[in-house]
Chain A
Amino acid sequence: MTKLRILFSKNGLVVFTLALLSGANAYADKPEFELAIEQHLFEPSVLVIPANTKVKLWVSNKDSTPEEFESYELNREKVVLGGQRALIFIGPLAPGEYPFFGEFNPKTAQGKIIAK
């Protein structure tokens, strides 16, 4: 109850906001992972990343057509044009499986990230 009072007090709200903002970018060296899109398929289709760690995910689209990396579970969506490479920050994730798909080719472009 006291914590709630502090959180909703004027100073508490400022501290909470600053804590939120300072939380971002607090991870100096983020591990990097690569994901490719080729023939409307993700390669690898299963990507294992460390749990509770923010990572940089590079998505390279080797097709000539664009793709949208999308995941409801990860809360991510990003258009990657044909022949381009895009950066997406992911996590820190609790251990578990997080499916993703290509919105422009959802039948073939399917994959999942496993955080462990």
Chain B
Amino acid sequence: MLLTSVIIIIREVLEAAFLISIILSLCVQLNLTRHWFKWSLAGGVAGSIALGSQFGWVSNLFGGIGQELVDAGLQVFIYLCLLYICFKFIDHYFKPSGSNATFRAILTAVIACAMTREGSEIYIYLLAFQDLPEGGLSLYGGSIIGFGIGFSCCALFYYWILSFSVSRSLLLGCVLLTTMASGMMLQAAKMLIQADLLPDGQLWDSNGLLAEQSLAGQLLYALVGYEATPAPAQLMIYMVSGLTMAGVIIARHQYWRHRQLPEEANQYGN
């Protein structure tokens, strides 16, 4: 039970932990307020309990595919939020200003949703097994270890991104948020395939090269959406999502670069 709890908690916590560390470190680098963070944590805990306690009802929605649709919906919402967040991060890099209410609300919502997705399963797991004889100490001990490892990864990543210059951490952060967001769209596609709303299939099996359930496989799953046996629909959605987000980020960056060039020319001209 101890080891099972550790593995379950790490698997559920890792993705949200990476997301929190990247967004928070970029907020620090860009001198953006972090007051919204406490509300996102509160929202994540409340969302986890709300979804976890209504899981049976949610699962039975839409003829038994409610779980898949809610999960896919959350993933798509997180993707769109991350697209907006990267866009705004670039704006703040070129033209520092206070964050507006919409930006703060999106930052709060993205972390709350990421926590809700994974937290609801942790809530269901802990609530169900705490009263069993084999539960108790090993269940909570394993969970604390799992949370501790997740928190350590989060802190390590946070300080690693902070160790770069502002421009490099923005580049690194945007690349990671793009791969993570595309990975979430890949997972959304997986849920829609499971619900029979997209066709299944297998393009390749790279488990022999890197097992998906291995530690490295799980890390890559959280960071770049690594899937050992992807379906064609998953790959297509992953690529379209990644290219769209990269295109938006590059276009916004170029927009500011071109706006700055005449200003710089004017400065030197004067």
Contacts and interface: CB of A to CB of B under 8 A. Distances in A.
Contact of A66 (B124, B197, B229): B124
Contact of A94 (B195, B202, B230): B202
Interface in A46-98: 54, 64-66, 68, 72-73, 75-82, 84, 86-92, 94
Interface in B192-242: 193-202, 207, 211-213, 227-233, 236
Interface residues of A, number: 37
Contacts of B199: 20, 23-24, 26
Contacts of A88: 194
B188 to A, nearest CB: 13
B15 interface: no
Output the residue of B55, B64, B193, B229 with the most chain A CB within 10 A. B64
Contact of B200 (A68, A79, A87, A92): A92
Contacts of B65: 87
A103 interface: yes
Interface stretch (B84-92, B125-133, B251-259): B125-133
Contact of A24 (B125, B196, B202, B227): B196
B128 A72 contact: no
B225 to A, nearest CB: 13
B99 interface: no
B29 interface: no
A20 B233 contact: yes
A81 B198 contact: no
Given A24-B196, A79-B67, A94-B202, A104 B190 contact: no
Contact of A72 (B132, B193, B207): B207
B8 interface: yes
A63 to B, nearest CB: 9
Interface in B3-61: 4, 8, 55-56, 59-60
Contacts of A84: 56, 59-60
A23 B60 CA distance: 24
Contacts of B64: 86-87
A9 interface: no
A105 interface: yes
Contacts of B231: 75
| Nearest 6 interchain pairs by C-beta | A23-B199, A87-B64, A89-B196, A65-B128, A72-B212, A24-B199
Interface of B: 4, 8, 55-56, 59-60, 63-65, 67-68, 121, 124-125, 128-129, 132, 190, 193-202, 207, 211-213, 227-233, 236
